[in-house]
Structure 1
Amino acid sequence: MSTDADPLPGTAAGTARLGSASALLASGTIVSRILGFIKVAVLAAAIGQVGSASADTFAIANQLPNNVYALVAGGVLSAVLVPQIVRASSGADGGRQYINRIVTLGVVIFAVVTLIATLLAPALIDLYSQSAVAASDGTGRGFSPEAFALATAFAYLCLPQIFFYALYNLMSEVFNARNVFGPFAWAPVVNNIVAIAGLVVFMALFGGAQQNSAVDVWSSGRILLLAGTATLGVAAQAVVLFLFWRRSGLSYRPDFRWRGVGLGATGRAAGWLFGMVVVTQITGVVQSRVASMASGDAASISALQNSWLIFMLPHSVVAVSIATAYFTRMSGHAARSDLAAMRTDLSGSLRGIGLLIVFASVALAVVAYPFARFFESDYPNVVAMGNVILALLPGLVLFSALFVMQRAFYALGDTRTPFILQCVQSVVFVVGAIACIALPTQWIAVGIAVSTTVSSSTQAVIAILLVRRRLGGGGGGLILVRYLQYLGLSLVAGGIGFGVLLLLGGLDASGFAQSGRVQAIVAIAIVGVVMAIVYGGLLAAIRNPELVGVTRSIARRLGRRKAE
């Protein structure tokens, strides 16, 4: 794949390349997300979800690698290394020396951190879970000693994922900075395939949720197969990227000479970002401990994670794909102090994202309960998860806008402002989450979701105001008009889709859409297609320019494929 510099912004070649990169990222993400949903559905069928203590123990253990990785280097890689690599690429060696040294340093650090974290598995589980305490009605709320022991056993096998997550993301950011987008977008597909295969074997040997939801049935074989294949999938995701290293124009050689290539600047830029990640993890600890109080009785850690997965689907496919492709180019604009070009790209990315994200938030709200049926069998559990999804969705649009705003700050080399914004978000969330302790057990997860929506929306609004001040504007009036158009048209499409959902029995325990997982998927597809046709038709009727740009990009891409 080409690693040439981007064409000039605003040119036909630049737009075509950016659209192609976004499409490539989105296509890999779509396939990965579909397989991810299948994986989570099979996992729910294997060990349960709402009311399953074993599902919550595995959820907390399998999330720990992501938490520790994020604490060590997660945001640093994307926010700091991409601009640094872009700048280093202007050197005589095309940035190869810098990349070799930073990859070598990363491997060493990640290996040490993984070893330490694995040894601290019991302490980490204790940090993220609430031990059982008596509720006002006399029942226990929190992890029992048996649940704590099971979560710890899972954690010993899951925590080695830290090394492979870090390696995958480090290599991905190298590819990203060199405008090679395909490999890292498609590598998670391998992860999901391995994990699904492991779950199928697990169910063949040990049965489904009815046999595995209680914590006292878990033998070493069950634990090893479930957690071991989860880690194997993450390892495969990282290893597969090595196959594409040379295709990016690189040849890796370990280099332990870490002085003189700008690592000091990287460390200084990463300082504020590390603080932001620490604040985020404190927030995560509070959320996990409060949510664990509902474990075994109602929607808890597992249901929150899977609801978040649904929430993140349109964000990952649309916002991340578009913003990631724009981020490299905005970093180049910032390096040249070309704020006008940054404003143009920022406005374009927000309008392109809004075209689909606003509609997606409305559409997902309409099909929230059929989506929950994909993960749950009993209708009360479907409602419990559906309520969590609905509580998250009002924040989707601003959450995606925040993602773009953060990348604008990172492109400018500013990690201090995102840190301050994260502190604001965390304070608002923690106050809301702690207040959820007073809620009835069945509403704790919903309360946490509402706190997430309020806090992230507050953060996004402040970020938008600060970015406008930093860039001297940003076409805010045009963006607002477009988003209001998207919202109005989406509500019309959503109203029609809701009527179709009622006809399909989407809110009826005995209705077609709630009668099975396949029926739920069919109902989602029917309602989704109807809403998309209405929304697309309305956009075409008002001749929305963003829709025209998207359709032209797709037509060009299809034309190139036919020519090939």
Structure 2
Amino acid sequence: MSARGSIGSMMAATLVSRALGFLKAILLVAAIGGTSEAIGGQTFEIANSAPTYLFALIAGGVLGAVLVPQIVRNLHDGPAGQENTDRLLTIVLVGGAVATVILTLCAPGIVWIYATTWSSQWRGLATSMAYWCLPQIFFLIAFAVLSQVLNARGVFGASAWAPAASNLLGISGILAFLFLLPTGLGTADSWSPLMIAVLSGTATLAIAIQALLLLIPLRRIGFRIRFRWGFGGLGHMSTLAGWTLLGVIAGQAAYLVTSNVASSAGKTLNELGVDGPSLNSLSMAYLLMLLPHGIVTVSLTTALYTRMSGSAARNDLAEIDALSTLATKPVAYVAIATTAAFVALGPLITEVLFGKPIIGHVLQVLAIGLVGFSQAYVLNRTSFALQDARGPFTTQLVIAGLSATGAAAALLLPPELTVLGIAAGISIANLAGWLTAHLSLRRTLRNRGHVPAGQRPLALGYARLLAAAIISSAAGLSLVAYTGTPTGFVGQATLLAAAGISVLTLFIAVSWILGDRTRNDLRRR
């Protein structure tokens, strides 16, 4: 399949998966809450997020940085390359299984680390959920490994569609919880072992299915996992993996600060009887913000990453520079357009989806940093293709430092504003990370003998898009303020559709008038 076809297939799969993910999120909020008023929603957020963050800490960033470039190189090394791939997969899968068992046994301590201010009753409920959720770590590792093997072989569709199947199973579990069990909106004492098992167990089963489904396309391409012990041929990867791991550690340290500050604010608001933003509100807002990132940025970069790695193996720096620029232009266009819509319509969006405009206020603040988040992702993947992990480490250090500082500063705010302060710090951090990643990649290319293309045209293009976003977002805010928010779902959904179309149409028109031609470039490609 061509690169364009691969990108299109992944975008379609991601769109379906994200749509199902939103449906799952809507049902989850209905089942256990999405703000400070519900204890179940806050405790499940800690329990079900811990596997994702621990996966990122022990393997996630390293796998993404190492596997594809290494496997692409191994493909050209014949039997010796295949043996290196087998050793790499053996180390990751066996090590991941051992780590998962140890971390699951440490569930009480893990919950305490992420929510130190919670009462023993809240932590007890979260710990019971965590025992069911933490086995997800192994299946997340397995999915990452197997999907990277498929990506390195140029097979992208399966790893993009598997999360859709996972979301379907997750939806089934939440529906069973909603219709067959007591409400999850009560106190911590109201949660029975069966309620915990159904909600948390099906969440883990969904992640397991996501990984196991990839065995089918692997068999079709003739790939067999052969466990081979030893470290021969892998020593040169240690530096890259080491820098990547340091970056991940910095990010996880920042999340520990964020988690504790946000969970403390949520508990305080709950005790005061105030319905305000909490850690799970931040998570739901992040889910919405990452929609364009997942559909466009990840799909586009995943397809181009294999080509970048191949170009790096040939030392074709000009091609890598061109591929990076090819990705950053449409990514910026989509991210900035979506930011305009989120800033204008955030509370209305979450009112329609969750019945909670509170989450939308968090979304408005988070969206400001969306373009920085997506652009840093593209630029860091380019650096990884070049086998350079110092640049991404520096970027992650800047993002983590500013995020943690913002979260700590948010402690000075009233509890109902704490999560908004955290979101502001994250947005600033993502924008600073974009600048850092940009400068790091240009320095790497220069040091290797390639003069990067001039940045003035790109900067002017971003300025045009920013101006269009400000104008269209202001128009959307004015429209909603003028009409007011209807009380019924149908009226709210109608206003959201009309306002959303208006904001995006105005963005496209204004950016075109200002001279942006990204849409034409996309058609030609």
Q: TM-score range by the shorter chain?
A: over 0.9
Give the alignment of 1:21-32 within 5 angstroms: 21-32=6-17
Q: Secondary structure at the match of 2:411?
A: helix
- 1:560 matched to which residue of 2? none
- 2:64 matched to which residue of 1? 78
2:78 to 79, 92, 95: 92
1:327 to 287, 305, 309: 305
Cα distance per residue 1:435-456 (max 9 Å; x no partner): 2112111011011111111122
Give the alignment of 1:126-141 within 5 angstroms: 126-131=112-117
- 2:134 matched to which residue of 1? 159
Change (3 A) 1:38 1:495: same
CA contact under 8 A between 1:188 and 1:237: conserved in structure 2? Answer: yes
Q: Which amino acid aligns with 1:530?
A: S
CA contact under 8 A between 2:116 and 2:260: conserved in structure 1? Answer: yes
Q: Which amino acid aligns with 2:520?
A: V
Report whether the alignment pairs 1:371 with 2:371: no
CA contact under 8 A between 2:68 and 2:152: conserved in structure 1? Answer: yes
CA contact under 8 A between 2:57 and 2:248: conserved in structure 1? Answer: yes
2:191 to 207, 218, 221: 218
Q: Which amino acid aligns with 1:404?
A: V
Change (3 A) 1:329 1:519: farther
Quote the offset at 1:542 in angstroms. 6.7
* Aligned-residue identity in percent: 34
Report whether the alignment pairs 1:43 with 2:28: yes
CA contact under 8 A between 1:46 and 1:207: conserved in structure 2? Answer: no
| Whole-angstrom CA distance in 1 between matches of 2:189 and 2:504 | 47
CA contact under 8 A between 1:323 and 1:349: conserved in structure 2? Answer: yes
CA contact under 8 A between 2:90 and 2:229: conserved in structure 1? Answer: no
2:461 to 482, 492, 495: 482
- 1:275 matched to which residue of 2? 246
Quote the offset at 1:115 in angstroms. 0.3
| Whole-angstrom CA distance in 1 between matches of 2:27 and 2:151 | 32
CA contact under 8 A between 2:399 and 2:432: conserved in structure 1? Answer: yes
- 2:519 matched to which residue of 1? 547
CA contact under 8 A between 2:100 and 2:137: conserved in structure 1? Answer: yes
| Whole-angstrom CA distance in 2 between matches of 1:434 and 1:538 | 39
Q: Which amino acid aligns with 1:147?
A: W
Quote the offset at 1:23 in angstroms. 1.5
2:392 to 418, 433, 440: 418
Structure 2: give runs of 5+ residues left out of the alignment. Answer: 270-275, 446-450
Quote the offset at 1:406 in angstroms. 0.6
- 2:99 matched to which residue of 1? 113
CA contact under 8 A between 1:275 and 1:419: conserved in structure 2? Answer: yes
Give the aligned length: 512
| Whole-angstrom CA distance in 1 between matches of 2:83 and 2:361 | 51
Moved more, 172-181 or 224-233: 172-181
| Whole-angstrom CA distance in 2 between matches of 1:257 and 1:537 | 59
| Whole-angstrom CA distance in 2 between matches of 1:493 and 1:203 | 39
* TM, length-normalised to structure 1: 0.86
Q: Which amino acid aligns with 2:98?
A: V
| Whole-angstrom CA distance in 2 between matches of 1:457 and 1:158 | 33
Moved more, 28-37 or 526-535: 526-535
CA contact under 8 A between 1:39 and 1:196: conserved in structure 2? Answer: yes
| Whole-angstrom CA distance in 2 between matches of 1:519 and 1:73 | 46
Quote the offset at 1:489 in angstroms. 2.8
Quote the offset at 1:166 in angstroms. 0.7
Cα distance per residue 1:246-286 (max 9 Å; x no partner): 33x232142223343x2222233201111111111111111
Change (3 A) 1:20 1:549: farther
| Whole-angstrom CA distance in 2 between matches of 1:463 and 1:498 | 32
Report whether the alignment pairs 1:317 with 2:295: yes
Change (3 A) 1:449 1:145: same
- 2:258 matched to which residue of 1? 287
- 1:524 matched to which residue of 2? 496
Give the alignment of 1:45-64 within 5 angstroms: 45-51=30-36, 52-64=38-50
| Whole-angstrom CA distance in 2 between matches of 1:246 and 1:538 | 50
Report whether the alignment pairs 1:206 with 2:181: yes
| Whole-angstrom CA distance in 1 between matches of 2:30 and 2:412 | 31
Q: Secondary structure at the match of 1:466?
A: helix
Quote the offset at 1:207 in angstroms. 4.6
Change (3 A) 1:94 1:45: farther
| Whole-angstrom CA distance in 2 between matches of 1:293 and 1:197 | 31
Q: Secondary structure at the match of 1:438?
A: coil
Q: Which amino acid aligns with 1:175?
A: L
CA contact under 8 A between 1:368 and 1:389: conserved in structure 2? Answer: yes
Cα distance per residue 1:401-427 (max 9 Å; x no partner): 111111121111111222233223222
* TM, length-normalised to structure 2: 0.92
Quote the offset at 1:540 in angstroms. 5.6
Report whether the alignment pairs 1:104 with 2:79: no
For the aligned residue pairs, the C-alpha RMSD in angstroms reads 2.0
Quote the offset at 1:524 in angstroms. 3.0
Quote the offset at 1:291 in angstroms. 0.7
- 2:320 matched to which residue of 1? 342
CA contact under 8 A between 2:255 and 2:404: conserved in structure 1? Answer: no
Quote the offset at 1:475 in angstroms. 3.6
Q: Secondary structure at the match of 2:102?
A: helix
Moved more, 409-418 or 524-533: 524-533
Quote the offset at 1:29 in angstroms. 1.0
- 2:506 matched to which residue of 1? 534
Quote the offset at 1:522 in angstroms. 4.1
CA contact under 8 A between 1:115 and 1:160: conserved in structure 2? Answer: yes
Structure 1: give runs of 5+ residues left out of the alignment. Answer: 3-16, 132-142, 554-564
Quote the offset at 1:469 in angstroms. 2.6
- 1:20 matched to which residue of 2? 5
Dislocated runs of 4+, deviation >6 Å: none
| Whole-angstrom CA distance in 1 between matches of 2:79 and 2:515 | 48
Report whether the alignment pairs 1:172 with 2:160: no
CA contact under 8 A between 1:212 and 1:218: conserved in structure 2? Answer: no
Change (3 A) 1:466 1:267: closer
Report whether the alignment pairs 1:357 with 2:330: no
Quote the offset at 1:227 in angstroms. 0.4
- 1:239 matched to which residue of 2? 212
CA contact under 8 A between 1:45 and 1:375: conserved in structure 2? Answer: no
Q: Which amino acid aligns with 2:235?
A: G
Change (3 A) 1:353 1:224: same
